[in-house]
Amino acid sequence: MSDFDTFKGIQKKMKAYQTVLSIASWDSNTEAPKDCFPYRSEMLSIISGEHFSLTTSKEYKQAINSLLAQSEDLNDNQKREVEKAKKGLDKIDKIPKGEYIEYNKMRTMAQRVWEDAKENDDFEAFKPYLEKIINYQKKMVAYRSDTDVPYNVLLDDFEEGMNMEKYDEFFDLIKEELVPFVQEILEAKEKENDDFISRNYPKETQKEFVEYLLDVFDYNLDRGGLKESVHPFTWNTHSKDVRLTVRYLENFVFSSIFAGIHELGHALYEQQIDEVFDMTNLGNGASMGIHESQSRFYENVIGRSKEFWNVHFTKLKSLFPEQLKDVNVEAFYRGINRVEESFIRVEADELTYPLHILIRYEIERSIFNEGTNVDELPDMWNQKMKQYLNIDVDKPSNGILQDVHWSGGMFGYFPTYALGSAYAAQIYYTIKEEIDFESLIEEDKIHKINEWLKEKIHCFGSSLKPEQILKIVTGEAFNPKYYIRYLKEKYSDLYL
């Protein structure tokens, strides 16, 4: 058997375990009764163990290393498959097994402690765990790389090819251009009559509208499905099984509509990946940033546009005649694009959102590169909130304790959220030149937009790197200026 056959054979087994684990996790998040978990986690840990043994088996490592040594015999996709496998392998293989297990135990603990700390507004309780997680992360970076810029290793883990130099340029631009612009908008903003937002919208009717949206966006129900969950998410095993969930809040209808369109964006991406990648490790989106660019493109660029609601507001109003009786499409459009200074990232509007990310980026950078102490973090957070959003944080749950990421050791993740929005803006200025984008939305022909995105982005799965995809789509490297331009155009038009 050739090395490549050996490699593929083991990968297929790994895929089989992953499929079982994924299906179980879908069930855990949507259907499973609450008492089933102790038994279930014991059974699943056996499957995970089998998967882990395959990933770290001698046979697998040997196959990868020998393929890397003779990579000129492989075609581009095969080369990429092997490179990706090697990268995944290094992440676990270079860290001593005992430390890896210990770290994962501690992380599970830290997440629980974080939940309570947030509930009780008690940063001191979480502090020792945060410190341990940071120390572990630093140590693990050192095992994997001898870089003097440790944060770069973490940034690259979440977005291949990105580093501090590029992110610094991006976030400096946000700081220089967007921070003053947001203040200008907030000062110009007048009190709008938008209390329709928080009226009561019965869950069953919201569901009907979300199902209507699945159709509008041409989501393929033969390859997917819709359920309800506490936190909306997209789930997939391969291009022919891509499902999503939404959450229905009766006094906040925007949650099911816009988080729904957001997840639809992730799901359409996965459904449109070329099926030749189904049986490989290239059958997923290209990166966190590119994935997020698609979900935000659908949610914000299409879903929060005037053109979209010019055609679909009538449907919404027919479902909620009482709740929307005094609302016209213009008022609705202003309501869905309302700008506000707020504490919580996940509730932030499209314009202020990147400032929340800017804060997290600067803090992470100083933790990993300047050795900032955990004691200093709450004040640093609050001071930056004041500086960039001009608000005073009143308690840790509205500040440093709000996000789950750090308790799970995910440093370097946040920047990809803002990067995704910036990619989306860059893609927007290209698509406008190539097809009649606004008219297609207004004529209810989103499938034409899907086709364009499929051909330029989705079909490749992760066979290409983010920077290669951006080059194919837009003809240039990542350029954050488009993002600033997009936000300024949209929000000047709305507010100035």
Nearest alpha-carbon partner for 150 in 158, 161, 139, 159: 139
CB of 225 to Zn ion, least distance (A): 18
- Comparing CB distances to Zn ion, the nearer of 295 and 426 is 295
CB of 292 to Zn ion, least distance (A): 5
The interface region with Zn ion, picked from 60-68, 93-101, 291-299, 312-320 by CB under 5 A, is 291-299
* Range 409-428, binding Zn ion (CB under 5 A): none
- Per residue, the 3-state secondary structure of the chain, as one string, reads CCHHHHHHHHHHHHHHHHHHHHHHHHHHHHCCCHHHHHHHHHHHHHHHHHHHHHHCCHHHHHHHHHHHHCHHHCCHHHHHHHHHHHHHHHHHHCCCHHHHHHHHHHHHHHHHHHHHHHHHCCHHHHHHHHHHHHHHHHHHHHHHCCCCCHHHHHHHHHCCCCCHHHHHHHHHHHHHHHHHHHHHHHHHCCCCCCHHHHCCCCHHHHHHHHHHHHHHCCCCHHHCCEEECCCCCEEEEECCEEEEEECCCCCCHHHHHHHHHHHHHHHHHHHCCCHHHCCCCCCCCCCHHHHHHHHHHHHHHHCCCHHHHHHHHHHHHHHCCCCCCCCCHHHHHHHHCCCCCCCCHHHCCCCCHHHHHHHHHHHHHHHHHCCCCHHHHHHHHHHHHHHHHCCCCCCHHHCCCCCCHHHHCCCCCCHHHHHHHHHHHHHHHHHHHHCCHHHHHHCCCHHHHHHHHHHHCHHHCCCCCHHHHHHHHHCCCCCCHHHHHHHHHHHHHHHC
Size of the site for Zn ion (CB under 5 A): 1
- Comparing CB distances to Zn ion, the nearer of 295 and 323 is 295
Distance between CA atoms of 396 and 312, rounded to whole angstroms? 40
- Comparing CB distances to Zn ion, the nearer of 133 and 453 is 453
Residues 412 and 158: beta-carbon distance below 8 Å: yes
- Comparing CB distances to Zn ion, the nearer of 285 and 461 is 285
Which residue type is seen at 297? F
CB of 296 to Zn ion, least distance (A): 7
Which residue type is seen at 199? R
- Comparing CB distances to Zn ion, the nearer of 272 and 295 is 295
Residue 454: both structure tokens together = 């499929």
Angle formed at CA 208 by CA 206 and CA 214, multiple of 5 degrees: 105
The interface region with Zn ion, picked from 292-300, 342-350, 375-383, 407-415 by CB under 5 A, is 292-300
The interface region with Zn ion, picked from 210-218, 275-283, 290-298, 338-346 by CB under 5 A, is 290-298
The interface region with Zn ion, picked from 65-73, 267-275, 288-296, 340-348 by CB under 5 A, is 288-296
- 38-53 burial: b if 16+ Cβ within 10 Å, else e: eeeeeebeeeeeebbe
CB of 222 to Zn ion, least distance (A): 24
CB of 298 to Zn ion, least distance (A): 10
Catalytic residue chosen out of the listed positions 81, 159, 160, 263 = 263
- Comparing CB distances to Zn ion, the nearer of 95 and 427 is 427
The interface region with Zn ion, picked from 78-86, 191-199, 287-295, 445-453 by CB under 5 A, is 287-295
Residues 426 and 471: beta-carbon distance below 8 Å: no
CB of 210 to Zn ion, least distance (A): 17
* Range 295-314, binding Zn ion (CB under 5 A): 295
CB of 427 to Zn ion, least distance (A): 16
- Contact call for residue 287 and Zn ion (CB under 5 A): no
Nearest-CB residue for Zn ion: 295
The interface region with Zn ion, picked from 141-149, 187-195, 250-258, 289-297 by CB under 5 A, is 289-297
CB of 266 to Zn ion, least distance (A): 6
- Comparing CB distances to Zn ion, the nearer of 244 and 327 is 244
- Comparing CB distances to Zn ion, the nearer of 137 and 416 is 416
Binding marks (x or -) toward Zn ion, 242..281, rule CB under 5 A?
A: ----------------------------------------
- Comparing CB distances to Zn ion, the nearer of 295 and 352 is 295
The yes-or-no answer on residue 124 being catalytic is no
CB of 414 to Zn ion, least distance (A): 13
Residues binding Zn ion (CB under 5 A): 295
Q: Which residues are catalytic?
A: 263
